[in-house]
Amino acid sequence: MPLELHISLANLHNNLRFFRQITKNSAELSAVVKSNAYGLGITKIVPEMERFGVRSFFTATISEAVKVRSCSRKSEIFTLNGFDFLNAKTYKKFKITPVINNILEAQKFIDAFDQTHEVAIQLNTGMNRLGLNKQALFENLDLIKKLPMNLILSHLACADDISSDENINQRNLFNELCQVLPKVRQSFSASHGALLGTEFHFDMIRPGVGLYGGIKNSGLKGVIQIKVPVLQSFIINENMQVGYNFTYKATQKMTVATLAMGYADGLPRILSNNGKLFYGNIPCPIIGRVSMDLVTVDISNLPEIPQHLCVFSPEYEVEDFAKDCKTISHEVLVNFGERINRVFSG
Amino acid sequence: MPLELHISLANLHNNLRFFRQITKNSAELSAVVKSNAYGLGITKIVPEMERFGVRSFFTATISEAVKVRSCSRKSEIFTLNGFDFLNAKTYKKFKITPVINNILEAQKFIDAFDQTHEVAIQLNTGMNRLGLNKQALFENLDLIKKLPMNLILSHLACADDISSDENINQRNLFNELCQVLPKVRQSFSASHGALLGTEFHFDMIRPGVGLYGGIKNSGLKGVIQIKVPVLQSFIINENMQVGYNFTYKATQKMTVATLAMGYADGLPRILSNNGKLFYGNIPCPIIGRVSMDLVTVDISNLPEIPQHLCVFSPEYEVEDFAKDCKTISHEVLVNFGERINRVFSG
């Protein structure tokens, strides 16, 4: 069998339903599908979300937006990384809505478009990454008001920390800045922000990682599983060594399996002698260095030589895997490589 | 401008020439092109290498091998991850040579093929990852000798450590095992092994990472550069914070640029508050967390607001970048994402 990433569309639907329910029907549910829908595959995920009723999608870049348009004729598509004005015609041709992040982009948009092509604007409420800050907004209010905007958005820096005062501070500033702008839809929260409560929802929430099983929460379900084929198994004796630079030495006789997944597939090298794969609920420790295309694990505890092992288990989800990789779910999801076959199930 | 990965074919040629020269014309120069030619792109790299005279290519998987065949009609193509016997017809159809790693694969090959389709076999000389070990080989010598083999190979575990005795131990075992096998081509070394000296070259070397600029060596040149577009720049004052979880706080007034590359593109999150981008030779420190699609850097020291910054500099190559990421060049190269436009120059 090939290396496979299995995606449960039923659990994706569960997660969409969860986010719709927590809005209490007072906010639109949009979806972030940048980085190829967090590695799951835009062309399958976007139509599935549309069937569920999602009407607005967020990408990072214009080329991703064009890909979304290729599988979604009617939806609104926003490019979070701004207005790539050298590609102005592409926005027009594919009916893509740029997110204006600064004054230069605003001016270029006005120069390039008539008033029929709408835009979103992003406000910088403290994260200092993208968007118009208070000063830039107030100094250029006449220009900004010329934009045919249909959405105002901002982004929380500390949404995953429910105790952070910064969330309140950013929200207060967002409210203050929206006062001087046209009364159009307002969007403030991605997945973690949406979980902070309805007072963070405004008119539209835009979850990403939570939809794809990257957040542990009683209402959200895991969406992906990776099945890793066993290529070979063998016995090694005490003192035999395994993998690059012989970083593992057996302390006793053991059974080792070599599997067809490596760091090129998103099993990071930091899991060398540290991570594990699963046979059901039974963990099989990674021994030695993770290679580019291969990983070796200790399967001495298993009742049989398996055909494949799994990356996740019911008790070991994307967020747990991310912790072992010393990162967050988002980086884990987008790193699962092109070589892995995506397999969708209902 | 879009995010671009520039690939110098002239420097790729330089590196091919380097490996050909160190063999003193006594060994064939093949090339490892797994993981989409280490992220550079199989369909462009393989024909380029063929023009240089490379006749044999190594992939990890059968699907990669089919991709190589799509752009190379005549070359030999080997699948290092073994013989995927459920796909036996694919090997036949596309004239792909499996590397037999174990007895099961050997038996399946004999069952599936007549004697006209050749194979390679891999010997496990101590790395304990893939291949036939001494015991398996001797116990099944009759079976193995039935294989119409055209290449015997093995792989070094510690080739990047020139002082390691393990290199000699593995080579001695390789020589010993080859004694009992047909007199066909023998291949033992990838890039680092080839650098150990001609006594490690046997009949064919098979460099990978060294071809693509991943090894610092006076004879090898950097092959890639990444140009990262600046989306926005702005001034922040003392005590203002930047990025997710506000992990950066300015100690003075400074100029910040936000650029369109994030961990989805292979700028790992571990570079948060740690890595740098370059304006020529001038480093611009990454401040705050690297996001999925964006990174913020301090550009206070620059003479102008740049249109783009670079990931590498003449003094900061792939291997230096990898060290800052606490990994090796290989993982860095294969992680540069699909969203980056590949741009080839002569």
Domains and CATH numbers, chain A: 9-205 (3.20.20.10), 224-345 (2.40.37.10)
On whether the CB atoms of residues B112 and B85 are closer than 8 A, the answer is yes
Query: Which of B67, B85, B232, B248 is the best mutation test for A, with the most CBs of A within 10 A?
Result: B232
Catalytic residue among B93, B145, B216, B244: B244
Write the CB contacts of B193 (distance below 8 Å, at least 6 apart in sequence): B156, B159, B167, B200, B205
**b (16+ CB within 10 A) / e for A144-182:** beebebebbbbbbbbbbeeebebbeebbebbeebbeebe
The first and second tokens of residue B331, run together, are 């993982």
Distance from CA of B213 to the nearest CA of A (A): 17
- ipTM summary value: 0.97
Distance CA B327, CA A291 (A): 12
What backbone torsions phi and psi does residue A272 show, to the nearest 5 degrees?
-55, 130
Contact flag A292-B330 (C-beta cutoff 8 Å): yes
Distance CA A227, CA A310 (A): 5
Least CB–CB distance from B294: residue in A130, A244, A258: A130
Average pLDDT over residues A176-190: 98
Q: Tell me the CA end-to-end span of chain B in Å, nearest whole number.
A: 21
pLDDT value for B302: 98
Distance CA A275, CA A257 (A): 14
Partners of A76 in beta bridges: A56
Residues of A in contact with B241 (CB under 8 A): 126, 128, 157
Distance from CA of A45 to the nearest CA of B (A): 18
Least CB–CB distance from A157: residue in B128, B245, B269: B245
**Is residue A4 very low, low, confident or very high in pLDDT (cuts 50, 70, 90)?**
very high
A13-38 pLDDT, tens per residue?
999 999 999 999 899 999 999 999 99
Average pLDDT over residues A58-81: 98
Average pLDDT over residues A153-170: 97
Distance CA A97, CA A150 (A): 9
Tell me the DSSP string of B124-140.
-SSS-SSSB-HHHHHHT
Distance CA A176, CA A178 (A): 6
pLDDT value for B73: 96
Chain A residue whose CA is closest to B335: A264
Contact flag B84-A242 (C-beta cutoff 8 Å): no
Query: Which of A36, A59, A81 is the best mutation test for B, with the most CBs of B within 10 A?
Result: A81
**At residue A346, does pLDDT exceed 90?**
no
Residues of A in contact with B63 (CB under 8 A): 2, 339
Sites in chain B below the pLDDT cut of 70: none
**Is residue A115 very low, low, confident or very high in pLDDT (cuts 50, 70, 90)?**
confident
Chain B residue whose CA is closest to A267: B331
Least CB–CB distance from A231: residue in B81, B127, B326: B81
Tell me the DSSP string of A128-152.
-SSSB-HHHHHHTHHHHHHS-EEEE
Contact flag A61-B263 (C-beta cutoff 8 Å): no
Contact flag B63-A2 (C-beta cutoff 8 Å): yes
pLDDT value for A136: 96
Distance from CA of A98 to the nearest CA of B (A): 13
The first and second tokens of residue B312, run together, are 């590498």
Distance from CA of B241 to the nearest CA of A (A): 7
Write the CB contacts of A3 (distance below 8 Å, at least 6 apart in sequence): A226, A227, A228, A229, A260, A261, A265, A339, A340, A341
Among B79, B22, B200, which residue's Cα sits nearest to residue A339? B79
pLDDT value for B173: 98
Least CB–CB distance from B331: residue in A36, A82, A263: A263
A301-343 pLDDT, tens per residue?
999 999 999 999 999 999 999 999 999 999 999 999 999 999 9
* C-alpha distances out from residue A134 to A111, A266, B169, B297, Å: 23, 40, 67, 21
Distance CA B34, CA B71 (A): 14
pLDDT value for B346: 86
Contact flag B292-A35 (C-beta cutoff 8 Å): yes
pLDDT value for A265: 98
Query: Which of A234, A236, A237, A297 is the best mutation test for B, with the most CBs of B within 10 A?
Result: A234
* C-alpha distances out from residue B38 to B33, B60, B285, B346, Å: 6, 11, 27, 19
Least CB–CB distance from A293: residue in B81, B86, B158: B81
**At residue A284, does pLDDT exceed 90?**
yes
What backbone torsions phi and psi does residue B320 show, to the nearest 5 degrees?
-70, -45
- Characterize the bridge pairing of strands A31-32 and A56-59: parallel
pLDDT value for A303: 97
Distance from CA of A189 to the nearest CA of B (A): 14
